[in-house]
Structure 1
């Protein structure tokens, strides 16, 4: 019999989580017993592969099945996982509970950012790519092939949206624009009074709130020196709340090393593995299962950004938006579109100013 620790290391989850997961796959008939392999063993094989980035030879030795059988099981479970994903990665209701991981201070911050329904960001996942396509996936900053994944999570580290499989060189804002414009991706645009928190890789416009540019943002930058004005106060608070998605990414990568060193399978299956990891993450979180990685990362952890300041544009705040807004268009439809763009942007500029002022007032009232 496996000890509890051995099961945890083998499957990257507790025995309780594994039992509940297999029970759900049985109940929903996403997997069935075959002549020689049970549902439980099929899931164990799959989890062993993605949890430890295991080669088929290691899986074959561990489970005593042929390479052909291991491969068949892997693809069978991978397909079943796509049905599982539909049930555990679901859009936000836009009426989230104020229950939030972390301290009372975090709870107070969410009441100030009362329209915030989650955090949005991109994450780079290692990818194994044929030589003739590596130029589309290889990052200039680290020289590695990656797929770009866009994700949204709520304030309980539960992912409510994921778009995987983009080339590593794709810009985060480009991925988001496609997700918004293409109904196939099922990204729910927030209602007028709601928004996602994101960094300045994205546009500051209705539905998406970014920090002030050229203002201190990295949480590490506030360890020894507190905010000195309302813009810094806003950026510090924004960073604390948005940090939830960095924590969620931290849990993912700690649990699934395959995300940092992908196994050699066709790219579409690499994409499916990534989505499966997000789904299993959500299952463990929403089932309220005791988990060492969530216990570690749900604390208020500081993730230092590469730069202390959010962006380094010399022309000032939101300069790229202003340049686009100032362009002249002859077509009436283009003019109408740009007018709506300016209106949406100004709405969020005003809202950010309002929140920054309130945060500063709250701070001064406590002095």
Structure 2
């Protein structure tokens, strides 16, 4: 028979928590750049500059129980790692209410810096000599379909609208097997190997398989780009629990 001894963990006092928070913050933003970059995605100099901007322009100040540096570090940590309220509260030895309140206050201060932190995109002119830019555009978006519908029906609706989807002369859109080959739309051959893991390391056995291989590679690039854009939107849509 085995016996286990349970040791009662002593609860930290307020003063001990305060000292531990100071030590953790020092290790995070003052000790070395490696730790700061790893946890906050910026070096110590950049973090100091951000704190000064939030103080001078954003108007955020130290509170009775929290320094501005801790508030900003907590805010940036959430953005850097997409952590939830409970995780951040445990990390910084704060209550969930304290974390949420100061996160939102810091967010409001950061929004006042939008003219300095956000770089306005420069439109690409039509006479740009780099041909690649014209391909990185959302050409058409059709929202609002309720329930379920076949892919082909949605496409037909988009094409038939007065200001709907237009296919430039001599150009084609890649579509998956849920659509049919038609004017301006290229779908893969059905009944042939298509996915890259089915073709990897093998030579195409027919012209149809060769076409499917090229189609799958191009589609893979597009899907990776769309996934990266959705990830950015997910970050922007992040809501912090109160």
TM-score bin, normalised by smaller chain: 0.3 to 0.5
TM-score, normalised relative to structure 2 = 0.47
Larger of the two Rg values belongs to structure: 2
Q: Which has the higher contact order (CA 8 A, sep 6+)?
A: 1
